[in-house]
Structure 1
Amino acid sequence: MALLMSLACCHLGQQKIAANGMELVAATSLVMYLCSTFMVIIIITISELQQLQYLNFSRINFEGNSIPGFFGSLRNLRYLDLSICNLGGQIPIQLESLSHLKYLDLSNNHLDGVIPHRLGDLSNLQFLDLNTNDLDGSIPSQLGNLSNLQFLDLSHNIGLEGRIPSQLGKLTNLQELYLEGGYVFRFLTVDNDEPSGGQWLSNLNSLTHLHMSSISNLNKSNSWLQMVGKLPKLRELSLRDCGLSDHFIHSLSQSKFNFSTSLSILDLSDNNFASSLIFHWVSNISANLVELDLIGNQMVDLPSNSISCSLPKMRKLRLSYNKFISFMIFQWVSNMSSNLIELDLSNNLLEVLPSYGYGIVMKSLQVLDLSNNKLKGVAFKSFMNLCALRSLDIEENNFTEDLQLIFHYLSSTCVRNSLQVLDLRSNGITGTIPDLSIFTSLQTLDLSYNKLSGKIPEGSRLPFQLEYLSVQSNTLEGEIPKSFWMNACKLKSLKMSNNSFSGELQVLIHHLSRCARYSLQELYLSSNKINGTLPDLSIFSFLEIFHISENKINGVISDFHFADTKTHSQS
C-alpha cells in the first residue's frame, strides 16, 4: 500500500535517501509544510513507516479529501497534527488503533459526522483538538475514559447538541476544556435536573481554562456556576452566549460563593446583562480579575447614584456592542480600576465626551477604542492627559472639526510622545494636513473618508516613525510638497487615492524615494490628477503594490519600470 502526496518540503528524522526515491528505514518523525514555490512528488510505502512517532501535516492542502484510513496502521505514532488541512469527510474509525497516541489535532477542517466514541479507547491521549469543524451529534460519554487527557477542545462545530456527559468528570488531569453548542437551534445543555447538577465539574481540580459557550440552559442552573466557583486553579472562564441576564444574577444573590483567587480572565459576552448589577456581582466574586469581556450585551447608561465597585487589578475591559449613551461609564470605569490599559467602548451610542479630567485618573490607559459611536463636538480635550495612550480609534463618528485644531489638542500635551496609532477615518473632519512631525511615536495614521480639502502646506512633514498613512477619499488637491516626505524613511503603506492631487509623477516618486526607497511596500495613487510618464519603480526595493489608474499618465508601461521589484501594478 502506498501514498501519493504533493508537498513542498519534508523534514525527516533518521532517514535514508535512495536513488530511486525515498527509503524510510527507521524514520521516527515526518514534518511536511509549504516552504517553496515548486512541488515535489513523494511516494511513501506505508510499510516502511512503522517506526514513525511524529507526523505533522499541518497546513498541507488535502483539497477536501478525507483523512486517509491508513494512518491507523502507524501503530507507533505518538503525535498526529492534521490541523488546517482542508480535510473533509468523517473521522476514520481506524484512528482507534493508534494506542500510543498522545497528541491528536484535527482542528480547522471541514470534518463532518459524529465524534467517534472509539476515540475514548486512546488511553494515552493527552491532547485532543477537534475545534472548528462541521461535527454534529452529541459528545460521546466515552471521552471520559481518557484519564490522561489534559486538553480538550470541541468548540466551533456547527451541530453539537445534547447534554454534556457527566463522564467528563473523570478527566481529573484535564487543564483546558472548551465546549460550545452548535448553530441553527442545535444546543448543548447541562444537567440541571438535580440540585447537585454539575457535580462532576468539582472533580476537575487541575482545570485552568474553562470555556462553555452557547449552553442553552445554563441560565437555569445555579448549581453549575457554584461548582465552577470551587475549581481551585481556574484562571480563565468563558460563559459566552449562554442567555445569562440580570435575573440570573438576582437568583444567585442568596448563594455564597467566590471564584478562585486565581481567576483572572472572565468572558460574559453575547449575553443579556442590562444594568450595573453585573459589575457589582463580578467585583464581589473575584477581585483579582485582569480581563473582563461584556461585548454584545444590552447594557445602558449607569445611574449616577449607583454604588461603585472595585476591580483594582483590571487591565482590559471590553464593553463594545452595548447601548451606552453618556460617558457616565467613564466615571464608573475610573472608579473601578486605575490600572486599566485597554478600554473598548466601540459600537455603542455615545454622543458626548466627559471633561478631560478623567485622563488623570486613567493614567495607565494605552488603548482606547471609541469607534462606531455618535461622538461630535470639540472632544479631543478629553484625551489630553492620557499620557500612556498608544492607540486611539474614533473612526465612524460625527466629528466635523478642523484637522489642525484636532492635532493642536493632541500635540499640546504628553499624548504627542506616546501615541502610535490614530484612526480618524469616516468622520466629517475638515481642513488640510498640517505638520505632523511633532508626534514622535506615531506609526499608523488613518484620515480616509473625511472632508479634508485644499493643498498640503509647504513645510508639512510626516512623523519619523510613521509606517502607514491613508488620506484616501477626501478632496485634497495640488502638488505634494517635497518637505512632506523628508521623514518618511519607515513608511510601508501609502494610500492617497480618490483625491485631486496633481503634479508630475516622476517628481513625486523622486521625492518619495529619497527616504522611503527601502521601506515602501504599497503605493496607492489612483483617481487623482497626476500627470507625466511612469518612472523607474525599481528604486523601491520592497514595493509590492502600485495603483496609478484614473490619472493623466501617458506613455508605455514596460517591464523596465518594474525591474528587480515584486510590484503588482494597476494602471
Structure 2
Amino acid sequence: MPFKGEIGSSLLELQYLTYLDLSLFEGSETSIPKFIGSLTNLRYLNFSGCNFIGTIPYQLGNLTRLVSLDLSFNNFDKVESLMFLSHLPALKHLEMRYTNLRQTTDWLRAINMLHSLLNLHLSGCGLSVVIPPPLSLANSSKSLAIIDFCVNEFSSSIFPWLLNFNNSLLSLNLELNQLQGQIPDTFGNMIALQHLNLAFNHLEGRIPISLGNPFSLETLDLSWNNLTGEVPNLSNFSFIKELRLPMNKLNGSLTESTDLLSNLEVMDISSNSMNGVISDIHFLTLSKLRHLDISLNSFTLNLSSYWVPPFQLDILIMSSCKQLEPHFPQWLQTQKRIIHLDISNSRISDGISDWFWELPPILMYLNLSGNLICGEVQKLPFIVDNFSAIDMSSNCFHGSKPPLPPNITVLNLSGNRFSRNASNLCSISGEYLNNLDVSDNSLSGELPDCWTNWKKLGILNLANNNFSGSIPASLALLPIEALQLRNNCFSGELPPSLSNCTGLKFLDVGENRLFGTIPAWIGENLPSLIVLRLRSNRIYGSLHLQLCHLTSLQILDLSNNSISGGIPQCLSNFTAMASNSGTVEIFDNSYSYLLDPWTTKGWYKDVPYVNIVMILWKGTEREYGNTLGLVKCIDFSSNNFSGKIPGEITRLVGLLSLNLSNNQLTGVIPHSIGHLNLLESLDLSANHLSGKLPEGLGDLNFLSYLNLSYNNFSGQIPRSTQLQSFDNTSFKGNAGLCGEPLPNRCPGEKVARPSINRGSENTDKRVGKREIITSGFYISMGVGFATGFWGVCCSLLLYRPWRHAYFHFLDRVGSWLYVRAVISIAKLQRML
C-alpha cells in the first residue's frame, strides 16, 4: 500500500539499519535524498514506484554492502551514468525496470563490473546499445542467472554478450525488442536454461532443433515473430512445461511426438499455417495439460466420440479447426475445469448436447460463433460465471433470448433465429455489461425503457431486426460509444437526449422510418463522432452549419432522404477527411479479462468487437468491418440538394468515395477536383450539372468507378490515361459530350485507330516486296508492353504511391508513345 510522509535525515541515527523498503512512497521529495548513501550498513534498498525525477545520486555507490537494489518504476529523466554501481561489489539483485536509461552510455560497462550479480532486471529502459565484439568480460559476473531485457530496443547484436553466461543462465527474457535474423544455434549451449522468451520480435527462419539441447528448458515463448518451417521434433523438449509459438508462419503438421511431452502444461501453436490431422494419439500422455490453443490453423480434428482425455483443461481454444465429424464434440463433457472455451468457426452443424448445460458454472469466456449449432439456450445461465463474455453469434439458435447472470460483460447473439418481443431485453440487468449485440435476428416490438440499469454499456447493436416505435430517450443515460439501430422500423425523431452522449463515435440509424430534420446538436454535442449514417429514412430540411463541427468524421451517409438546400461550404472543416496522412482506429472496444490466472505473466485476453457498416461503394452496397478505419466517404445521393458543388469539398483530400448523384445540383464540376487524388469512386450522375469536364478529372489516378451520366455536360472528354479507361456508360446522357470513350467524335478529332485492309491479294504481294514492321514499330510496341506490364504488376497489385507515380509517368510519356505509334502506322499505310 502507498504511504506518505517525509524521508528525514533522522534516518542517519539508525546506524545499523540493513533493510530499507520505501516502495510506493509518496512524499514531498522529488528525488532520492543524497544522505541515503551514508547508511553504509544497508543490504537491501527498495525505492520502486516512488515517482522520483531527475537523476540517481552517485552517493548510492557508498553502500558497499548492498546486496539488493530496486529503483524500478520511477520518472528519472537525467540518468547519464550508472558507474556508481561499480562500487557495489556485493550486489546480487538489481532491478531498474522502466527507468529511463536512454541517455546512459556506460550501463553495460557498469554491469560488467558487478562480480556477484545474479539477477538483472532492466525491462522497459529504452536500451538499444550495439554490443561491440571485443568487449571484455574478464571482470564481469559469470554467475548471472536471470536477465530480463524485455521492452527495449535491442538488436541481435546483444546475442554474443548473452552467450557468455552459458553455464549460469536460468532465465532470459528479450520479449518486445528489435531482434532480427535467425535464432542462433548457440542457444543450445546454455545448459542451465529453464526459461527463454523471444516473443514479439522480428526473428525469422526455422526454429533450431538445438533449443531442445538444454534438457532443463521448461518454458519457450517465440510468439509473434516471422518464424517459418515445421515445428521441430518435440521429443527433444522432454521437460518443457510451456510451449508458446503463436502468430508465426510455421507450417507442416503436428508430429505425434507430442505424446512424449508428459510435463507439458501450456501448448499454444495458434495463428500459423499448420495443417494435418490431430487425433487422440497426440494427447496420449499429456496428463498435466491445462491450456491448449491450436486455433487459426488448418487442422482437422479426428477425436473419438468416446475419447476420455487424460487432462483437465482450464483453457481450450480450437477456433477454425475443422471437425472430421460435424457433431458437437462429446469429449468436452469430461472437462470440469474449463473457464475459457472457444470452438468457433469449426464447421459444427449439430444440436447442442444436453450435457453441455450441466457443465460447472465457471465459464468466463464462451465462444461458439460461426457454426451451425441449433437449439434453445434457456439454460445458458447455468454454466457461465460472473463477469463472463459470451459469443454465440452466427448459428441457428432459436426461441427467446435467455436470461443471463447479472454480471455478464459481453453478449453477442447476432446472426441467429431469436424471436419474440423485445421486452425480454430487460432480463439482462447486469450493471457490468459493456457490449450487447443481438443484431440479425427476428426480435420485434418496441424497445423497453430499462436502459438505466446498464451503467457501462458502450456498444449496442440492434440492427436488422423488426423493432418498432420510437427510440427510447433513456438510451442517452448509457456511456454509449457505438449505437447501431439500422434496418428496423423505428419511427419518430432522433431523441434530443442523445445530445448527452458526448462520447458517441458511431451512430447508424439508417434504413428506418425516422423523420424530421437533422438536429443541430449532432454537430454541437457529439465531437467524437466518426461514423454518421442516416441513410434511407424520411429526413427533410437543410443541413445545419453545426454539422461541420464534426472534425473527426470519416463516414457521412445521408443518402435516400428528402434533404434540400445547398451543400455547405464548411464541409472542408471535416479534418479527418481532409487528411491523407493515414487513418484513425474507429474503435478499441475489446474487453479484457484474466485469461490464465495461474501464470506469473498475468496474461489478459482481449475479446474484440467489429462494428459493421453498409456503404454504397462503387455503385454496390457493401459491408465493411475490419477495414472500416480505412474508409473515408461522403454519400448525399438521392436527396433534393440544389445549387453548386462547393469547391471547398475538394479540400477533403483523404476522401476515397464521393456520391452526390440523384439530386438537383447545377453549375460545373469544381476545377480543383483533381486535388482529391485518393478518390476511388466518384458519382455525380442524374443532376443538372453542365459545362466542360475539368482537366483535373484526369489527375484522379486511383479512380476505378466514375459515373457522370445524365447531366448537361458538353465539350470534349479530357484525354488522360485514366478517363479513357472507362466505358461509355460513365458519360451517357450528356448530349453535348464527345470524344473517347463515347462513340461520337468531337469536331476535328482525329481517328486514333485507323482500319487496315488485310484481305486483298494485291496487298499481300506488296507486303512481300517491302518490309512493313520497322524497328520503330518494335520499339513502340515494346515500350508500350513494358509500361503496361509495369503498371499492372506494380501500380495495381502493390501500393498506391507507386500507382500514383505510374499514372503520372504515363501522362508524361503518353504523347511520345502516341507519336511513335502514328508514325509507324503511317509508314504501314504508305506501304499498303
Q: Normalising by structure 2, what TM-score?
A: 0.47
Is residue 2:446 matched to residue 1:341? no
Aligned counterparts of 1:461 and 1:271: Cα–Cα separation in 2: 44
Residue aligned with 2:670, SS: strand
Q: Are residue 79 (structure 1) and residue 220 (structure 2) matched?
A: yes
Overall identity of the aligned pairs, in %: 14
Note the alpha carbon deviations across 1:167-214, whole angstroms, 9 max, x for none: 35445xx4x32235743753475447xxxx83x433x3xx54233445
Letter in 2 for 1:161: N
Distance 1:362 1:98, change over 3 A: same
What's the CA shift for 1:480? 2.4
1:391 aligns with 2:505: yes
Which AA in structure 2 matches 1:79? L
- Residues 3-58 of structure 1 show CA distances to partners (whole Å, capped at 9, x for unaligned) of xxxxxx983375339xxxxx96658869799979xxx9x68873575227636476
Q: Is the 8 A contact 1:106 1:129 kept in 2?
A: yes
For the structure 1 residues 435 and 61, does the alpha-carbon distance in structure 2 shift closer, same or farther, using more than 3 Å as the test? farther
> Cα distance, 1:163 vs. partner?
4.0
Query: 1:407: which partner in 2?
Result: 518
Q: Which whole-Å deviations, capped at 9, do the CAs of 1:374-408 have from their partners, x for residues lacking one?
A: 558x654257536326134438736797xxx5423
Letter in 1 for 2:481: Q
Q: What is the CA distance between 1:121 and its match in structure 2?
A: 1.3
Cross-structure match for 1:541: none
CA distance in 2, matches of 1:45, 1:309: 58
After TM superposition, give the deviation of residue 369 of structure 1 in Å: 1.7
Equivalent residues in 2 for 1:257-406, closer than 5 Å? 258-259=382-383, 261-276=385-400, 278-280=401-403, 282=404, 286-302=405-421, 309-313=427-431, 314-324=433-443, 326-328=444-446, 330-331=447-448, 334=451, 337=454, 339-346=456-463, 348-350=464-466, 353-359=468-474, 363-371=478-486, 373=487, 379-382=492-495, 384-385=497-498, 387-388=500-501, 390-394=504-508, 397=511, 406=517
Distance change in 2, residues 1:187/1:290 (3 Å): same
Contact 1:309 1:336 (8 Å CA) reproduced: no
- Contact 2:386-2:406 at 8 Å conserved across structures: no
Taking the TM superposition and a 5 Å limit, the aligned residue runs for 1:171-186 are 174=314, 176-180=315-319, 182-183=321-322, 186=325
Q: CA 1:125–1:433 in structure 2 vs 1: closer, same or farther (change >3 Å)?
A: farther
Between the aligned partners of 2:546 and 2:327, the Cα distance in structure 1 is: 55
In structure 2, how many angstroms separate the alpha carbons of the residues matched to 1:427 and 1:181? 37
Q: Which amino acid aligns with 1:470?
A: C
Structure 1 residues 492 and 55: CA distance shift in structure 2, 3 A: farther
From the superposition, tell whether residues 45 and 138 of structure 1 become closer, same or farther in structure 2 (CA, over 3 Å). Answer: closer
The counterpart of 1:420, out of the listed 513, 529, 533, is 529
SS at match of 1:444: coil
- The residue type paired with residue 16 of structure 1 is P
User: 2:256 touches 2:282 (CA, 8 Å); kept in 1?
Assistant: no
Matched residues in 2 for 1:546 and 1:384: separation?
45
CA distance in 2, matches of 1:153, 1:245: 27
Map Cα deviations across residues 446-500 of structure 1 (whole Å, 9 max, x no partner).
2459368985345566356766851268488845244x68xx8xx7832354658
Counterpart amino acid of residue 201 in structure 1? Q
Deviation per residue, 1:78-109 (Å, 9 max, x gap): 424265747465x4424543634633214564
DSSP 3-state at the match of 1:15? helix
Question: Deviation digits for residues 329-349 of structure 1, max 9, x if unmatched?
Answer: x22864874653311123x24
Counterpart-to-counterpart distance in 2, 1:227 and 1:184: 21
The answer as to whether partners of 1:114 and 1:138 remain within 8 angstroms in 2 is no
CA distance in 2, matches of 1:525, 1:358: 38
Does residue 480 in structure 1 map to residue 646 in structure 2? yes
Contact 1:474–1:498 (CA under 8 A) maintained in structure 2: yes
Structure 1 runs not aligned, ≥5 long: 1-8, 18-22, 513-520, 538-544, 558-564
What residue is the counterpart of 1:228 in the other structure?
360
Counterpart residue identity of residue 311, structure 1: S
CA drift at 1:299: 1.1
Aligned ranges 1:462-473 → 2 under 5 Å: 462-463=573-574, 469-471=632-634
Q: Does 1:12 align with 2:12?
A: no
**Structure 2 alignment gaps of length 5 or more:** 1-152, 584-631, 662-667, 685-691, 709-716, 723-799, 809-832
Aligned equivalents of 2:509 and 2:285: distance in 1?
49
Query: Residue 138 of structure 1 corresponds to which residue in structure 2?
Result: 279
- Give the corresponding residue for 2:335: 201
Name the CA distance, whole Å, in 2 between partners of 1:181 and 1:299: 25
Query: Are residues 339 and 272 of structure 1, via their aligned partners in 2, closer, same or farther at CA, if it must alter by over 3 Å?
Result: same
State how far apart, in whole Å, the 2-side matches of 1:417 and 1:43 are: 50
Deviation (angstroms), 1:239: 3.8
Q: Which residue of 2 aligns with 1:121?
A: 261
Question: 1:289 Cα shift?
Answer: 0.9
Structure 2 SS opposite 1:296? coil
Aligned to 2:416, the other structure's residue is in SS state coil
RMSD: 5.3
Greater Rg by CA:
2
Say if 1:297 and 1:322, in contact at 8 Å, map to a contact too. yes
Q: Distance in 2 between matches of 1:426 and 1:275?
A: 31
1:494 to 636, 644, 655: 655
Aligned-partner residue type, residue 367 of structure 2: S
Describe the superposition over 1:136-167 as per-residue Cα deviations: whole angstroms up to 9, x where unpaired.
232546376363x5532123444113248543
Shift of 1:412: 4.1
Greater relative contact order (Cα < 8 A, sep 6+): 1
CA distance in 2, matches of 1:400, 1:358: 14
Q: CA deviation at 1:74?
A: 6.3
How far the C-alpha of 1:294 sits from its partner, in A, is 0.8
Contact 1:245 1:271 in 2 (8 A): no
**How far has the Cα of 1:415 moved from its partner?**
7.7
**In 1, Cα distance between equivalents of 2:248 and 2:154:** 22
Q: 2:239 aligns with which of 80, 99, 103?
A: 99
Q: Does the 8 Å CA contact 1:161/1:181 hold for their aligned counterparts?
A: no
Aligned match for 1:505, one of 672, 675, 680 = 672
Cα distance between partner residues in 2 of 1:191 and 1:496: 50
Q: Classify the secondary structure of the residue corresponding to 1:320.
A: coil
The residue that corresponds to 1:6 in the other structure is: none
Q: Check 1:168–1:319 CA distance in 2 against 1; reply closer, same or farther (3 A cut).
A: farther
Distance 2:367 2:360 in 1: 11
- 1:493 is paired with a residue whose SS is coil
Question: Does the CA contact (< 8 Å) of 2:177 and 2:200 recur in 1?
Answer: no
Q: 1:35 to 1:15 in 2, by over 3 A?
A: closer
Tell me the amino acid that sits aligned with residue 407 of structure 1: I
Give the Cα–Cα distance (whole angstroms) in 2 for the partners of residues 43 and 131 of structure 1. 20
What is the distance in 1 between the residues matched to 2:669 and 2:427? 57
1:295–1:319 Cα contact (<8 Å) kept: yes
- Aligned length, in residue pairs: 481
